[in-house]
Chain A
């Protein structure tokens, strides 16, 4: 075996020596490695009050870019607040707010190129808004009307937009993690100057797909950023009942993945970390793991009441670390914020959300034919047969199926 700087060539194959044990140190004592042997610090640029740590690396960011991030954060606050209300009123069936995590999502999305694919879990509406998804588009999806690109098939918040390179969300947790590795591999093979970012929570990181995806991305050199929102809870399960290692970041090291831990409530830190991750992933054709430490200020979803499993005191402790307020303070310190203009923007957004909601709830659902479309590229015989039977049945009992009975086309 010839040795070229730690890499051995055996019969023409490149093999990492360490994996063949030849490069592993030997001990003659039982050597128990306790957890926490590596210190993984958290990158923080802004202090909770919005002032900059004196020795902090600063990302390059101009006023225009900062304003876009800031406004997207406020836009999402308004949208979340309004839609939680709409769910309480029974106007939509389900909603899921991202309060407290705006900096993690919008800060990272801002560091990407529009060509990068975003694969998300479900609490990342901020990334979609940053990419340019419009209020009426959010509404059409949530009201499952015929203008919803999903044709009303999925629950609210399961967004997707091909033009914006935002992969359609699905409910099963963690499934997008190995998919992101595959998508990124395809981007690399096609020679695209683009990567995939894959968002997931710390709970989803317990799924087998997390292990599969990170290992595959590492072994197959996929340019993907795995972005974990470690917000302390998976529904009611606190992080200490989810894992006992050093968060999610420590696992990246085991897979041989370059890893960064960042303060998820500090938008500048998230922005800088993601910029760095993107640069590395594209240059070195490798995955990078980012663990953003944050807190889910909202309930898990509109079907959840967090008072049953955590204290008001704990929530209060995190409210003072609010990522939006922190960034606002920094914007003010730069004199980049026109308060009058900002107030106007928030008010305008409220009106826009309300108007779009009223409009979207008036739009019909898709025709019944769309029930069998897109199962395959074209409906096969058995689906056509089933649709035809269904239409006959609806015509027999039109009052029982009011949303479709008036619009049946018998072919």
Chain B
């Protein structure tokens, strides 16, 4: 075990994957010699050569189109989109191509080896186009997997599993935690399972669910609630698609209450999907309406960032409303 921040853990995972399999190639805008605008790809070009870690022209649809071709050829592309906010030019390649490659060809060709890495999320004064959390757009695409880590240990284990998974994975990295989150990370190779949520803390009165950087927000709210005698069960969803409805439902059947927190706007956000599913599965166990604490249905603002964010205080208040319903 060594102490690493999330960027170092990601860098370490990429080195592990590239060392193990020469078909792994890392590319995107500024990922080459410079090592990425966040330094996640530091030293990869120096260590593995320009053929396997390279800059691309500034074109997101080109990056993902190129990656789709490379994956269908049998290579293992790890493509970077510099900010999640700029993934939309590649939306057509992802929705109509990446995700449907295997299905439409009857399994003859696939993009299963593709991993798309992208930093996402707010809290860094990024304004409209350096803060978005676009996971719900992608949750509506059959054929994609979506994975979001919450700390360096998760980041390495989930990224290695994503690169080796035989399905295209959108790996979203909470950039607010890139340097802020530091923890013990094994030096050796390990994987964490995709599609599985993790119960971070057991509790009795309410289930709190989040992913990425918001997990620490619900943890903070839970601490406040515990002082009021409310025992919170905390779950990190980790995978948005496919998501672990069983773990979440089991928890809600026990606690009878569910609060979901995400940074993205509320309407059409992934909390809606979870909320509807849990309501179907746990109708007789629910003691209060399922509560969503989300971003507002506005573009992500700059000056009002603090007000926009579904922070621990908003979450704490929602917990109390839910328990006292």
Q: Which A positions have Cβ atoms within 8 angstroms of B?
A: 13, 117, 119, 148-151, 153-154, 158, 160-162, 167-168, 170, 172, 175-187, 189-190, 196, 208-209, 211-213, 215-216, 219-220, 373-377, 380-382
Contact = CB atoms under 8 A, between A and B. Distances in A.
Contact of A179 (B69, B107, B112, B166): B69
Contacts of A150: 104-106
B105 A212 contact: no
B93 interface: yes
A377 B54 CA distance: 29
Interface in B27-58: 33, 51-52, 54, 56-57
A-B CB proximity, top 9 nearest: A178-B65, A182-B69, A212-B62, A186-B73, A179-B69, A168-B105, A182-B66, A182-B70, A183-B69
A209 B105 contact: no
A377 B112 contact: yes
Interface of B: 23, 25, 33, 51-52, 54, 56-57, 59, 61-62, 64-75, 77, 89, 92-93, 96-97, 100-110, 112, 142-143, 145, 166-167, 195, 242, 245-246
Contacts of B97: 170, 172, 175, 179
A149 B245 CA distance: 33
B246 A381 contact: yes
Contacts of A183: 69-70, 72-73
A374 B103 contact: yes
B51 A376 contact: no
B70 A168 contact: no
Contacts, number: 156
Contacts of B73: 117, 182-183, 186-187, 190
A98 to B, nearest CB: 21
Contacts of A176: 69
8 contacts: A168-B104, A175-B68, A176-B69, A178-B93, A179-B69, A190-B74, A208-B61, A374-B102
Given A175-B96, A178-B66, A182-B69, 15 more contacts: A175-B65, A175-B92, A179-B68, A182-B65, A182-B67, A182-B70, A184-B69, A186-B73, A208-B61, A213-B62, A374-B102, A374-B106, A375-B102, A375-B143, A376-B143
User: Most chain-A Cβ atoms within 10 A of its Cβ — which of B73, B93, B195?
Assistant: B73
B167 A376 contact: yes
